[in-house]
Structure 1
Amino acid sequence: MGADRARVRGSYDTVAEEYLGRIGDELAHKAVDRALLGVVVEEAAGGVVADLGCGPGHVAGWLTGRGAEVVGVDLSPRMVGLARREQPRAAFRTGDLLALPAADGEFAAAVALYSVIHLEPEELAPAFAEMRRVLRPGGVLLVSFHLGTEVRRMREWWGHPVDVDFHFLESDTVAERLAGAGFTVEVRMERAALPEEAPTRRGYLLARRTA
């Protein structure tokens, strides 16, 4: 694991409990996110959904509550431990977006909500290639991210010392990387921040793995 990935892992290990307390119920006030996740559940048609960058498992918990079988993957062992504790109906694995701990075509669908923002620009393409590898042909992938071109490095997060970069992304850039990895983008959305969120615009792409 490179130094950048180690910084991300260490930072999320540090804030894991605080993150769960502050973010664990965020879907309660995110109607757009719930609607898109509902599309993913329907598209999976009873197959397994991967939650890539699952954090403490709150999205996985929402998905299992709608009847989906879910496997969450996160770089942070502490986050995975919390997810296993909080969401016993889902399965969780420690792993990297650049080398997913999953078999070829294992998943019917996948979500990657605000997880690709911690990748370096040159890592987007290989990460999307990995996501394509673990999806079955025709499987869908929902990606969300903060819109923009800046990079924010956080040294403190909720009073905890961290060292993690947040890469804001443009929808066109993400769509191009997805297309290059073998996806067809079918839905593109943007929205403003909700009062409960950090004040950034949000981007969503729903893409389908080509055969």
Structure 2
Amino acid sequence: MNEDTWLSDTRSSYDRVAASYADQLRETLAGNPFLREALALFADEVHTVGGGPVADLGCGPGHVTAHLHELGVDAFGIDLSPVMIDVARRDHPDLRFEVGSMTDLNLADASITALLSFWSLIHVPDDAIPTVFGQFRRVLRPGGPLLLGFHIGDESQLKTQGYGGHPMKVYIHRRQPEQVAAWLHDAGLNVEARLSLDRDTPHPKALLFARRPRPGVSEAGA
């Protein structure tokens, strides 16, 4: 599958389900104390490095962006789906949301204090991950933290329907934390901590905390 195909399929799929998706996700953080604690730790790391703009990549309807804002983080959201961004702007009119792709971020080099990507890497094929992680490293300031959330597994599955019964055409790529950590390593990002969630359920998840090294600190990809 070429880049144009999977990007266009993902964009159009989430355009169709945006409203239903937002309705289903609205209370997810309230019911998950472990995710809230992970986000609180991430916010603390942002404050520790001096604050500044934080990008929520694949932000969807903006509920995580808004939660980070409540934690005192200057967060803004980027999503591939224009309709999803419309929903985020509707639900959170005081926050900044932009249409964009993780494969080619419209952000200046070293312009972002920290990055968050929750459950959005699941649609990125393996051969595009190095490009995406290269973009993450490029836009992160030295010393900037990164928090990734993704589904654990070893398979890819085509999703043809979801979120209100609307048609979709997206692949769900489940990966082992070791593989994602290796890709981060190759991109020059240092993994600092790992957390597994819902390990004994049909849909286990993982969180990885990483960082772009400061000058003079050994880089993972060096």
Q: TM-score range by the shorter chain?
A: over 0.9
Q: 1:21 maps to what in 2?
A: 23
Runs of 4+ aligned structure 1 residues displaced above 4 Å come to: none
SS in 2 for 1:96: coil
Root mean square deviation of aligned Cα: 1.4
C-alpha distance in structure 2 between counterparts of 1:134 and 1:125, whole Å: 14
1:77-125 superposed Cα distances (whole Å, 9 cap, x missing partner): 0011111111123211100010012111121111100111100101111
1:119-173 superposed Cα distances (whole Å, 9 cap, x missing partner): 0101111101101111110101100111001111111113111111100011011
Q: 1:44 maps to what in 2?
A: 46
Q: Aligned runs of 1:1-211 on 2, under 5 Å?
A: 2-45=4-47, 46-157=51-162, 158-192=164-198, 199-211=202-214
1:204 partner letter? L
How much does 1:27 deviate?
A: 0.4
TM-score, normalised relative to structure 2: 0.90
Say whether the 8 Å CA contact 1:40–1:110 is kept in structure 2.
Answer: no
How much does 1:199 deviate?
A: 3.4
C-alpha distance in structure 1 between counterparts of 2:64 and 2:38, whole Å: 12
List alignment gaps of at least 5 residues for structure 2: 215-222
1:10 partner letter? S
C-alpha distance in structure 2 between counterparts of 1:72 and 1:124, whole Å: 20
C-alpha distance in structure 2 between counterparts of 1:192 and 1:200, whole Å: 7
Percent of aligned positions with the same letter in both sequences? 38
Further displaced range: 85-94 or 161-170: 85-94
| Richer in strand (by share) | 1
TM-score, normalised relative to structure 1: 0.95
1:12-71 superposed Cα distances (whole Å, 9 cap, x missing partner): 000000001011221001111111111221111221111000000000010111111111
**If you compute each CA radius of gyration, which structure gives the higher value, 1 or 2?**
2
Number of positions where the alignment pairs a residue of Structure 1 with one of Structure 2: 208
List alignment gaps of at least 5 residues for structure 1: none
1:135 partner letter? L
C-alpha distance in structure 1 between counterparts of 2:197 and 2:67, whole Å: 21
How much does 1:193 deviate?
A: 6.4
2:139 partner letter? V
